[in-house]
Amino acid sequence: MQRGNTLEQLPTSVDAQRNAVKNAQEVLGQIILGKDKQISLALSCLLARGHLLIEDLPGLGKTMLAQSLAKALGLTFRRIQFTSDLLPADIIGVSIFRQNSGDFEFQPGPVFSQLILADEVNRATPKAQSALLEAMEEHQVSVDGQTRPLPTPFFVVATQNPGDQIGTFPLPESQLDRFLMRVAIGYPNEASERELIVGDDRRLMLDDLEPVAGAETLLELQKSVQKQNVSDPLIDYVQALVRFTRESADIEIGISPRGAQALVAAAKARSFIESHSGVYPDDIQAVFPSVAGHRLKPAGDTRFRSPSELCQHVLDSVAIP
């Protein structure tokens, strides 16, 4: 091969594609220890063309996850640290007047990358937040009346810190909905933590990380995920779940039709990664807390203390057809 870049040897068969995903899971697992489930969910989100919201306390490896994801998949990566003085132009970019050419030249902002880490997204003002969220939704930005497409694939990993309440602007429900999944990372288990403490510096490991796939491969993977079989009984199941969330006394606002779409899209990616012959109810259950957790609004007097408990309650209450 003249190009010398093995990344661009596109895996043609579905098996080869699955191998690429497996490899990515493996290398990511070496850096982020003991968080296989979260890695799998993050990959699912990416393959389902959705955006990911990581919500957890600082120091649990949110940034590390996003960075290593970008690195392992060979995507261009930019990080935007959201602060209260962040302006939309800081995200999208600005047109600068060039004196020698007498013309305005567009200076693309960090949003023109394939993978963006929007760190502590709830610290910025709603105006800045909505600039990013609009870009996520439209896959394009409009600057000075000109529409500019964003690169493909385009994947946003936003993090937010639930503990901070002062000086933050929590994302409203309508904007949370833009994220396919909301994932919490949680503390590592003891063995993993021990290795984190005594082992190599993760940052150095990240630098050494060799990409296992490329943007092209990712696009192919996304296409294959789309083709994952969705059977009638499975749709029955999804509808039963959605209906339950709308009718349950514990839930004030249930899953919207867009939420149901998101559920199936995420489950498709999960079933692809798991090499299932179609989307199984198991896939739905695996992604359900991440996909539905931030979309459900629990009733005021609910006995469930966290969204994940509520989600588990939903899963335990709906029969699988």
Partner 1 sequence: MKAQPRGTDGSLLQSLPWTLAALGISLLPHIPYLPIWITGAFVGCAAWRYVIEKRRRFLPSRWIRGGLALVCFLGVLGTYSSISGVGPGSALLAIMAALKLLETRRRRDQFVLLFISIFLVMSSLLREQYLWSLPYLIGSMLIIMTAWLRMSAGENDTARQSFTTGGRLMLYAAPLAVAMWVLFPRLAVPFWAVPVDTSRAVSGLSDEMSPGDISSLSMSDEVAFRVRFDAAIPEPRDRYWRGLVLNTFNGRKWSRSSEPGVGLPASEQISVSGQSFSYEVTLEATSQRWVFAMDMPMSWSLEKTLMGRQQQLFRETPIEQRVAYDVVSYPEYTVQTKLPHYLQRGYTELRGSNNQRSAALARQMREAAASDTAFIDAVLRKFRNEEYFYTLQPPPLGSNPVDGFLFDTKRGFCEHYASAFAFMMRSAGIPARIVLGYQGGEINPMGGHLIVRQSDAHAWNEVWLEDYGWYRVDPTSAVAPERIEYGARNAALDGIGLSWGFSAPSELLQKLTLTWDALNAKWNDWILGYGPDKQRSFLEWLGMDDPSWRKMLLTLVAVVVALIIGVSVLMMLRYRTPSRDRASILYDRFVKKTGLKRHLGETAQDFARRAAAESKLPGAAIDKFTAAYLDARYGPETDDAETRLRAALAAVT
Torsion of CA 311, 312, 314, 319, to 10 degrees: 140
Candidates 117-125, 164-172, 257-265, 276-284: pick the segment binding partner 1 (CB under 8 A). 276-284
CB 159 within 8 A of CB 54: yes
In the complex, least distance from residue 234 CB atom to partner 1, rounded to whole angstroms? 5
Q: Interface with partner 1 includes 316 (CB under 8 A)?
A: yes
Q: Interface with partner 1 includes 321 (CB under 8 A)?
A: yes
Total of residues contacting partner 1 (CB under 8 A): 20
Residue type, 54: I
In the complex, least distance from residue 279 CB atom to partner 1, rounded to whole angstroms? 6
Torsion of CA 54, 59, 61, 62, to 10 degrees: 20
Torsion of CA 293, 297, 301, 306, to 10 degrees: 20
**45/191 Cα distance (integer angstroms):** 27
Phi, psi of 79 (to 5 degrees): -115, 135
For partner 1, give the closer residue by CB, 147 or 277: 277
Contact set for partner 1, span 177-206 (CB under 8 A) = none
Each residue 277-296 as x (binds partner 1 by CB under 8 A) or -, in order, gives xxxxxx--x-----------
In the complex, least distance from residue 67 CB atom to partner 1, rounded to whole angstroms? 33
Element (H, E) at 108: strand 103-108
Q: Interface with partner 1 includes 276 (CB under 8 A)?
A: yes
In the complex, least distance from residue 255 CB atom to partner 1, rounded to whole angstroms? 16
For partner 1, give the closer residue by CB, 299 or 315: 315
CB 51 within 8 A of CB 300: no
In the complex, least distance from residue 229 CB atom to partner 1, rounded to whole angstroms? 5
Contact set for partner 1, span 213-232 (CB under 8 A) = 229, 231-232
Q: Which tokens is 275 given?
A: 């090499």
Candidates 18-26, 37-45, 210-218, 313-321: pick the segment binding partner 1 (CB under 8 A). 313-321
Q: Which of 32, 63, 76, 40 is nearest to 205 (CA)?
A: 32
Among positions 133, 234, 263, 266, the unique one binding partner 1 when judged by CB under 8 A = 234
Q: Residue 104: beta bridge partners?
A: 97
Q: Residue 310: beta bridge partners?
A: none
Candidates 10-18, 110-118, 142-150, 273-281: pick the segment binding partner 1 (CB under 8 A). 273-281
**253/230 Cα distance (integer angstroms):** 26
For partner 1, give the closer residue by CB, 10 or 315: 315
Q: Which residues contact 137 (CB under 8 A, 6 or more apart)?
A: 178
Residue type, 137: E
In the complex, least distance from residue 80 CB atom to partner 1, rounded to whole angstroms? 39
Contact residues for partner 1, defined by CB under 8 A: 229, 231-234, 276-282, 285, 315-321
